[in-house]
């Protein structure tokens, strides 16, 4: 017998589950669903500690329970729907899975004005806070940020940009596909994160764009031995809460969430990813069996021209984008001034 997914049954089950949890003396219990596994650095070093600290800060008014590995729903494309329906109270999602819902977020994929994920993430959040981003009215964002830049991880020798011609490279966003096509490569879609390593090992793809912070957990480090140190795109991400659930919380519970979300949560996420990325890159550089390619000035200039063209196309899509870019530039200058004034090593 084939079993089908029933949203109504899922909602009933979620409601029964919530009612049971609320009755055990632990205060208001929130379900935080994450599609990536518990071993991922963002879960173990950022999301889980954040959930624990928010729970502790609420002084018993709230408990956040984390469900990694897609245990409450594996599809990245359904996370927004599950949040809106109340199946999840909090979720982590990639706006590239539902691009029509968040029409301006693809700007934050382009590493043109900065290749620093902390700068890009803080600017992303502050643009939202100041009312310049659309698509967030129906949810309660807790963090908006980007990953460390996606770079090439390959199964073939790389000399320069021409080495990419005719090669099949995994891509997950329109911008990644565009960058690959302009380099003469063939973008391959439909390869999930859990399928990348196997697809590389079987020769179904010749390489992948991926952030260094994730190459070891998903097996890309094992399946490739050539790495190109050139930022190609960022991956914007959202941690959000069901707005109705948030507004129904007690003042003490909301205060605990508010105090540790926004920039504190963003800094936690980005620092965790940056640390893992730096460690993986260092390991690759020291491995004599690997080719670690530092992009030279000529290579960087080629990619920069492509980023500039993509940014101009994005600007031309909407009259609102001129204003957003101007505000982004102002906020980026503000962030850099704050960094210059901060004690050494503080981010």
Over residues 301-329, the pLDDT tens digits come to 999 999 999 999 999 999 999 999 999 99
Say yes or no to pLDDT of 261 above 90. Answer: yes
- Give the pLDDT score at 1: 39
The per-residue pLDDT for range 124-134, each reduced to its tens digit, is 999 999 999 99
Say yes or no to pLDDT of 107 above 50. Answer: yes
Distance CA 216, CA 330 (A): 37
Distance CA 21, CA 30 (A): 9
pLDDT confidence band for 13 (50 / 70 / 90):
very low
Q: Are 207 and 154 in contact (CB under 8 A)?
A: yes
The per-residue pLDDT for range 71-80, each reduced to its tens digit, is 999 898 999 9
Least confident range of 5-14, 95-104, 192-201? 5-14
Within a 10 A sphere around the Cβ of 295, how many other Cβ atoms? 19
- Give the pLDDT score at 260: 98
Residue with tokens 């990953």: 147
**Residue ranges with strand state E in 6-111:** 28-33, 62-67, 90-93
Q: Is 181 left (phi over 0), alpha (psi -120 to 50) or beta?
A: alpha
Helical (H) or strand (E) element with 50 = helix 48-57
- Give the pLDDT score at 19: 39
**Sign of dihedral through CA atoms 66, 67, 73, 77?**
positive
The per-residue pLDDT for range 135-161, each reduced to its tens digit, is 999 999 999 999 999 999 999 999 999
The per-residue pLDDT for range 23-72, each reduced to its tens digit, is 455 689 999 999 988 989 999 999 999 999 999 999 999 999 999 999 99
Higher model confidence: residue 285 or residue 13? 285
pTM check: above 0.85? yes
Within a 10 A sphere around the Cβ of 222, how many other Cβ atoms? 12
- Kindly state the percentage of the chain with pLDDT values over 90: 85
Say yes or no to pLDDT of 16 above 70. Answer: no
Domains of the chain: 7-148+235-274 (3.40.190.170), 150-233+291-341 (3.40.190.170)
Q: Are 72 and 267 in contact (CB under 8 A)?
A: no
28-33 sheet: strands from edge to edge: 62-67, 28-33, 90-93, 236-242, 139-146
- Give the pLDDT score at 334: 98
What average pLDDT score do residues 215-221 get?
Answer: 93
State the chain's mean pLDDT as an integer. 91
- Give the pLDDT score at 103: 87
- Kindly state the percentage of the chain with pLDDT values over 70: 92
């Amino acid at each position: 017998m084939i079993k089908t997914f029933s949203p109504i049954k899922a909602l009933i089950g979620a409601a029964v589950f919530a009612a049971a949890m609320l009755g055990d003396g632990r205060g208001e219990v929130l379900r935080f669903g994450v599609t990536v596994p518990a071993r991922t650095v963002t879960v173990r070093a950022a999301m889980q500690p954040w959930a624990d600290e928010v729970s502790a800060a609420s002084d018993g008014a709230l408990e956040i329970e984390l469900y990694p590995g897609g245990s409450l729903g594996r599809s990245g494309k359904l996370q927004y729907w599950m949040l809106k329906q109340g199946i999840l109270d909090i979720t982590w999602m990639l706006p590239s899975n539902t691009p029509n819902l968040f029409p301006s977020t693809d700007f934050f994929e382009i590493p043109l004005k900065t290749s620093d994920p902390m700068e890009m993430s803080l600017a992303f959040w502050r643009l939202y806070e100041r009312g310049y981003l659309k698509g967030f009215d129906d949810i309660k964002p807790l963090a908006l940020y980007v990953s460390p830049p996606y770079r090439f991880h390959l199964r073939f020798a790389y000399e320069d940009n021409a080495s990419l011609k005719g090669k099949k490279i995994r891509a997950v966003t329109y911008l990644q596909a565009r960058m690959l096509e302009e380099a003469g490569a063939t973008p391959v879609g439909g390869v999930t994160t859990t399928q990348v390593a196997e697809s590389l090992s079987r020769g179904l793809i010749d390489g992948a764009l991926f952030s260094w912070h994730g190459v070891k957990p998903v097996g890309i480090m094992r399946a490739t031995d050539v790495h190109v140190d050139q930022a190609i795109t960022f991956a914007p991400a959202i941690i959000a809460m069901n707005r109705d659930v948030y507004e129904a919380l007690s003042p003490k519970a909301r205060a605990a969430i508010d105090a540790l979300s926004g920039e504190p949560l963003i800094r936690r996420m980005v620092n965790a990813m940056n640390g893992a990325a730096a460690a993986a890159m260092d390991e690759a550089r020291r491995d004599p069996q690997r080719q670690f390619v530092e992009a030279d000035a000529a290579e960087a200039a080629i990619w920069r021209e492509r980023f500039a063209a993509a940014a101009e196309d994005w600007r031309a899509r909407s009259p609102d984008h001129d204003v957003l870019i101007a505000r982004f530039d102002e906020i980026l200058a503000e962030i850099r001034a704050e960094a210059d004034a901060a004690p050494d090593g503080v981010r």
